[in-house]
Structure 1
Amino acid sequence: MADDTARNYDPGLVLDLREQPEGGKLPTRGELRGRQQGLPRPECVVLVHGFNNHTGEAGERYYGFRIMQCRHFGGEHGDMAADLERLLGDAFWPGDADWPGPLDWLDALVYPAAVHTARDAAALLADLIERIPGLVRVHFVAHSLGCRVALETLDLLWASGRLAIGSICLMAASVERDDVAPGGKFADLLAALGEAGSEILVLHSRRDKVLRFTFPLGQSLADEGFLPEALGLEGPPPGMPGRVSERRIAGANHGDYWGHQDNEPSRVATREAGAFLKLGERVREIRARDPEAARAVGAARAID
């Protein structure tokens, strides 16, 4: 998959919150990049990777997600990959460390700092999203600690009121269940989003060793509760506000959600995410609404 990503991953829109490809701090201001970053798009599905992914690893995950969506919903249209680029926006944030190769395993030690980076990244990501030309409605697919980035960003976007909030898919969420329970940190946001018609899908797995063992300790060290339970491990707490649905992904480990791991949990997770977001329908709407642009974009690199 890594070789295929290097050859074929060419995102139409990048929301870049990194100063360097691996490790580093958040920049003063984010940057919109990509082949189509100047093109207006009324809707955008923002993809947010999780903890401990450098730029190449995050790109591999985003590329895997595209491949799976084309397999699930592409039908006989070989140009779905090109049309997807008019819908997706890939966010990159520094939730990793820059250790020498043999010490990469030490990245787990930066988790407490990454929790705070996830929180601080929200203002930059919200600003970038609001700068996307022509944007009316934003959706999210987030994984792991990227779910914290997404929720913090949604809090700011909702307060701003400039954009409509669509569907939100949280995969293996490194978010405390107490934070999304009644009275929790995000309870008011979730209730407001639900009243506005936004829907949330929680994909979770009790086989997730990262969320079972690493998450509680990391959150405690980050002063974010004492040995809390993860949303992505146990699923939504009783009474979670909003229009929330869930799906347990049988046998899924923490990295089995984006599609770059070609296994059954990954296939199920990507199919659930794509169906929830109605990606096939949205791509067809894009093609019908603007066929000339669809043909132009179709000349770009395609995914086999």
Structure 2
Amino acid sequence: MARYVGVPKGYPSGVVYQLRQSFEGGDLRQSLLMEPSNKGFDRREIVVLVHGFNNHYGEAAVAYEGFRKRQYSLNSSLQPASLQSILADVHWPGDAAWGLFDIADFLVYPYAVGTAKKAGAILAKFLMQMPNLEIVHFIGHSLGCRVVLETIRKLGARPQVGKLCLMAAAVPVFQVEYGGRLASAIARAKHVLVLHSSSDLVLKAAFPPGQFAAGRGEGFFPVALGRDKPPPTVAGMLSEKEVKGAKHSDYWGHQLTKQSQDAAAYTAEFIGFDINFRSIGKRNSAKAMKFCASRNVSESRTLG
């Protein structure tokens, strides 16, 4: 018996970047399918949302719709459905279809790391083919942050990478430190916000052995970027914020917990959604820096 039982009513309400062949588990598509196919290909600027490990299509849809609803509640200037003009939901197969044995899905994590790398390359190819796309921003969660960084790593000169929000990032710290495999990717973003929590038992206990099991280049029981305050050796224009008490799923804003609401609010202020969406990256750079200072976020820094 599968876990997937459907999606929230009305979903998708915007553009989906489909990398799945099945709603639950299954293989990665070899090329990205945009749904609906006649909407969103001409965009100049987009914010790409990427879910994490062990989310089937329905669970990711719940998180994405919850994120939208929370953003509307946080910003009275947003008109109903206005976010659909800029958001794009990525669905990728970082889960298994083991039904009643879902408790053992963590066993596929090492394989999912490889899938995340491949998904990033496919997403990057699609973004570079969008004829009018100039700026892309990313919001990723958990292993979805790895998909995001792998995407950026594969991008050419266009599109530019604007803001990058990494929530509970299941990415080894050493890979984003200066000289690491993904250092150039995180450094390419105009501004990065790392949301982290020392209360995240998934990143504290399950991530190190799972990442080690993923094989060569993934480190020996490495520390996850989303677990603690990032060290000053992490590359890029970086800011960070601890979401105190947050568990691994408390980030998109669809949960009723205070931590979920806090994380969504930090993301909202960092990204800077408003009614016009006139170049998020350029328009809100000063606002983002002010937010970082007022929220006691560490000073942004550029290394290397």
Q: Same fold (TM over 0.5)?
A: yes
Amino acid in structure 2 at the alignment position of 1:150: V
- Equivalence for 2:39: 37
C-alpha contact (below 8 Å) 2:150/2:185 kept by paired residues? no
> 1: distance between equivalents of 2:6 and 2:186?
38
1:4 positional shift: 11
Point out the more displaced range, 50-59 or 102-111. Answer: 102-111
In percent, how many aligned pairs have the same letter?
45
Q: Closer, same or farther in 2 for the Cα pair 1:5/1:262, shift >3 Å?
A: farther
- Equivalence for 1:23: 25
- TM-score, scaled to structure 1: 0.85
- Equivalence for 2:85: 86
Point out the more displaced range, 181-190 or 215-224. Answer: 181-190
1:281 positional shift: 5.7
Q: State how many pairs are aligned.
A: 275
Amino acid in structure 1 at the alignment position of 2:266: E
- Equivalence for 2:219: 225
Q: Closer, same or farther in 2 for the Cα pair 1:47/1:209, shift >3 Å?
A: same
> 2: distance between equivalents of 1:225 and 1:36?
42
- Equivalence for 1:300: none
Deviations 1:188-234 (A, max 9, x none): 3334x26xxx1000000000010000000100111211111000001
1:60 positional shift: 0.4
Amino acid in structure 2 at the alignment position of 1:199: H
Unmatched 5+ stretches in structure 1? 287-304
> 2: distance between equivalents of 1:3 and 1:19?
16
Deviations 1:131-166 (A, max 9, x none): 445221100000000000000000111xx1121110
- Which of the residues 241, 253, 259 maps onto 2:253? 259
Looking at secondary structure, tell me which structure has more helix per residue: 1
- Equivalence for 2:244: 250
> 2: distance between equivalents of 1:111 and 1:215?
9
- Equivalence for 1:151: 149
Specify the SS of the correspondent of 2:231: coil
Structure 2 residue 52 is the aligned partner of structure 1 residue 50: yes
C-alpha contact (below 8 Å) 1:14/1:37 kept by paired residues? no
Specify the SS of the correspondent of 1:189: helix
- Which of the residues 189, 194, 208 maps onto 1:216? 208
- Equivalence for 1:120: 118
1:275 positional shift: 1.0
Point out the more displaced range, 246-255 or 124-133. Answer: 124-133
Amino acid in structure 2 at the alignment position of 1:95: G
- TM-score, scaled to structure 2: 0.85
1:282 positional shift: 4.9
- Equivalence for 1:70: 72
- Equivalence for 1:175: 171
- Equivalence for 1:203: 195
Structure 2 residue 183 is the aligned partner of structure 1 residue 187: yes
Amino acid in structure 1 at the alignment position of 2:213: L
C-alpha contact (below 8 Å) 1:32/1:128 kept by paired residues? no
Higher relative contact order (Cα pairs below 8 Å, separated by 6+ residues):
1
- Equivalence for 1:240: 234
Amino acid in structure 2 at the alignment position of 1:32: M
C-alpha contact (below 8 Å) 2:153/2:184 kept by paired residues? no
C-alpha contact (below 8 Å) 2:169/2:225 kept by paired residues? yes
> 1: distance between equivalents of 2:209 and 2:257?
29
> 1: distance between equivalents of 2:279 and 2:179?
39
